Amino acid sequence: MRFITSNRIFSGKDFLTDNTVVVLDNKGIIIDITTSDKLESVNIEHFEGIITPGFINTHCHLELSHLKGVIKQHTGIVDFGLGVIKHRHDASPEHQQEAMIQADKDMFQEGIVAVGDISNTNSSMTAKQLSNIHYHTFVELIALNPERSDLVFNTGKELLTEFKSNHLSASLAPHAPYSTSIELIEKITNDCFLAKQPSSIHNQESAAENEFFNTKSGDYIRLYESIGLPVTYFKATSKSSLQSIISAFNKGVPTLLVHNTFTNKNDIDIAQNQHPQLYWCLCPNANLYIENTLPDIALLVNNQCMLTLGTDSLASNSGLSIISEINTIQKHQPAISLELLLKAATYNGAQFLGLENQFGLIEINRKCGINLIEGHTGNYSVKKLA
Ligand SMILES: [Zn+2]
């Protein structure tokens, strides 16, 4: 047994009283939560820093791990996307596997215990099967042309079955508003509803995305021209992307909106009115890498958006670390409280993935992982205690 305590202990929802001691068995399962005055003649390990549950990374693309440093920073999303398309098959399959296994190990070292991971192929299956981390795979589907929705949906279901038959948790997810038709979003999220699984979509990562929906102009026209895909069937909506697509989502499905860099108050109001189970994922390091800007996090907080954190992929980040994402937010938007960010990094993420009975909360009979956060505001590091 281990008896551990620190200057502050964050449960996943809030800070516990000062003299709290967490008791772990030799497998890392929490067997008691008590206070130091109730313990006699035991060796209490006291750590300098903040104890938290293991972190939940709700947005990652493990299969892009070999693209670290390959794509230039600050290009904007369209050229970033074209860079991924151009380079994702450059590395050998062996090198891609090695990069995924290393990225997975790095995440584990950084105190991450569960990941929501976007996959377009089956290439990440081996790394996930070997991992100490719990993965939920979002099999990501892309087809803006509504005529392709049946074909793409059926192909996606085959890949989904492959993950599930290898005992990996998985569900379908649309890629982004500008790349998935309303018809396909409906099919995907109805499938998630029947399977009682969450879904996810990239949302308003660029100003160009809103422009494409509002007036069918801007950088996404260049994207579709440069990959030789005419979008004659697409009609402008005179609304932002989020406002244009939110009603297509099944309201019974916990849904992650990833990035939200160009989301305004009106978007939040309309989305939350339409959908009762939205989670808003922040990936600040990737936003700085690609668009060199950040979402208005205070706006999301003030409008009761349920926040989670994600790393995105190594194509748009120098590492896969939730504490690094917290540091970035603290440096750029210091008004956002540490308590709120820790809740996003733990309980909220676990709840979105449907894992709140297993992860995200320091509670008796759980093996949620235990992290120690050391250092100072904007410059924290993490150590795994269990
Ligand atoms: Zn992403």
- Ligand 1 centroid to Cα of residue 199, in Å, is 13
Q: Which of 8, 6, 11 is nearest to 345 (CA)?
A: 11
State the distance from the centre of ligand 1 to the C-alpha of 285, rounded, in angstroms.
Answer: 12
**In a shared domain, residues 208 and 292:** yes
Q: From the CB of residue 276, how many other CB atoms can be counted at a distance below 10 Å?
A: 10
Question: What is the C-alpha to C-alpha distance for residues 208 and 262, in angstroms, rounded to an integer?
Answer: 9
Ligand 1 centroid to residue 248 C-alpha, Å: 20
User: Which protein residues have their CB within 5 A of the ion that is ligand 1?
Assistant: 312
Q: Cα–Cα distance between 12 and 16 in angstroms, integer? A: 10
Are residues 17 and 134 located together in one domain of the fold? no
Averaged pLDDT, 340-365 = 98
Ligand 1 midpoint to CA 258 (Å): 7
Question: Residue 90 has what pLDDT?
Answer: 92
Give me the phi and psi of 182, to 5 degrees please. Answer: -55, -45
CA of 322 to the centre of ligand 1 (A): 15
Q: How many residues does the chain have?
A: 386
Which helix (H) or strand (E) segment is 5 a member of? strand 2-9
Whether residues 64 and 47 share a domain: the answer is no
When pLDDT is averaged across residues 275-283 and rounded to a whole number, the result is 98
CATH of the domain at 99: 3.20.20.140
Distance from the CA of 209 to the center of ligand 1, in angstroms? 15
Cα-to-centroid distance, 36 and ligand 1 (Å)? 44
C-alpha of residue 201 to centroid of ligand 1, in Å: 8
> Residue 318 Cα, ligand 1 centroid: separation in angstroms?
14
Query: Residues near 305 by Cβ (< 8 Å), separated by ≥ 6?
Result: 268, 272, 278, 280
In angstroms, what CA-CA distances link 184 with 174, 194, 209, 267, 275? Answer: 8, 16, 18, 22, 18
Structural domain that includes position 21: 1-53+361-386
Are 12 and 116 within one domain? Answer: no
Q: What is the DSSP letter of 72?
A: P
From the CA of 282, how far away is ligand 1's center (Å)?
A: 11
**Dist. CA 176 → ligand 1 center (Å):** 9
pTM of the model: 0.98
CA distance 77 to 86: 14
Q: What is the mean pLDDT of the chain?
A: 97
Same domain, 324 and 377: no
Residue 298 confidence (pLDDT) above 90: yes
Q: Which residues 6+ apart lie within 8 Å of 282 measured at CB?
A: 259, 260, 295, 297, 307, 308, 309, 310, 325, 329, 344
Rounded Cα gap, residues 73 and 57, in angstroms: 22
* Interval between CA 59 and ligand 1 midpoint (Å): 6
User: With pLDDT > 70 as the criterion, what percentage of the chain qualifies?
Assistant: 100
Position 41 pLDDT exceeds 90: no
Pairing state of beta strands 379-384 and 370-376? Answer: antiparallel
**143: pLDDT strictly greater than 90:** yes
Is the same domain home to 134 and 258? yes
> Ligand 1 centroid vs 200 CA: distance in angstroms?
10
Ligand 1 centroid to 61 CA: how many Å?
A: 6
Both structure tokens of 340: 């709120």
Query: Residue 339's pLDDT is what?
Result: 97
Q: Give the count of beta carbons closer than 10 Å to the beta carbon of residue 227.
A: 10
Ordered DSSP codes for 140-184: EE-B-SGGGHHHHHHHHHHHHHHHHHTT-EEEEEE--GGGB-HHH
Q: How far is the CA of 355 from the centre of ligand 1 (A)?
A: 21
Are 178 and 248 members of one domain? yes
Taking residues 370-380, report their average pLDDT: 97
CA atoms within 13 A on the CB side of 378: 7
Compute the average pLDDT of residues 101-105: 98
Q: Is 21 helix (H, G, I), strand (E, B) or coil?
A: strand
Residue 360 CA to ligand 1 centre (angstroms): 22
Same domain, 186 and 286: yes
- 349 with 371, same domain? no
Ligand 1 center–CA 44 separation, angstroms: 42
CA 305 – ligand 1 centroid, Å:
19
CA distance 253 to 6: 38
Q: For tokens 């021209």, name the residue.
A: 225
For tokens 């996606």, the residue is 156
For residue 161, the Cα-to-chain-centroid distance in whole angstroms is 22
Task: Look up residue 247 and give its DSSP letter.
Answer: G
Please tell me whether residues 89 and 227 are part of one structural domain. Answer: yes
- Mean pLDDT score, 83-92: 93
Cα–Cα distance measured from residue 270 to residue 255, given in angstroms and rounded to the nearest whole number:
15
Query: 205 CA to middle of ligand 1, Å?
Result: 9
Query: From ligand 1's centre to the CA of 154, what distance in Å?
Result: 22
Question: What distance in angstroms lies between residue 202's CA and the mean position of ligand 1's atoms?
Answer: 6
Tokens describing residue 302: 């003030």
Residue corresponding to tokens 């549950």: 53
Neighbouring CB atoms inside 10 A of 78's CB total 21
Nearest to 202 by CA among 146, 286, 266, 293: 286
Overall domain count for the chain: 2
Alpha-carbon gap, residue 21 to 6, rounded angstroms: 8
Same domain, 36 and 184: no
Tell me how far the alpha carbon of residue 121 lies from the centroid of ligand 1, in angstroms.
15
CATH code at position 29: 2.30.40.10
pLDDT tens for residues 219-275? 999 999 999 999 999 999 999 999 999 999 999 999 999 999 999 999 999 999 999
384: CA distance to ligand 1 center in Å?
A: 26
H/E element, 79 = helix 77-87
Ligand 1 mean position, distance from CA 294 (Å): 15
* Domain shared by 12 and 117, yes or no: no
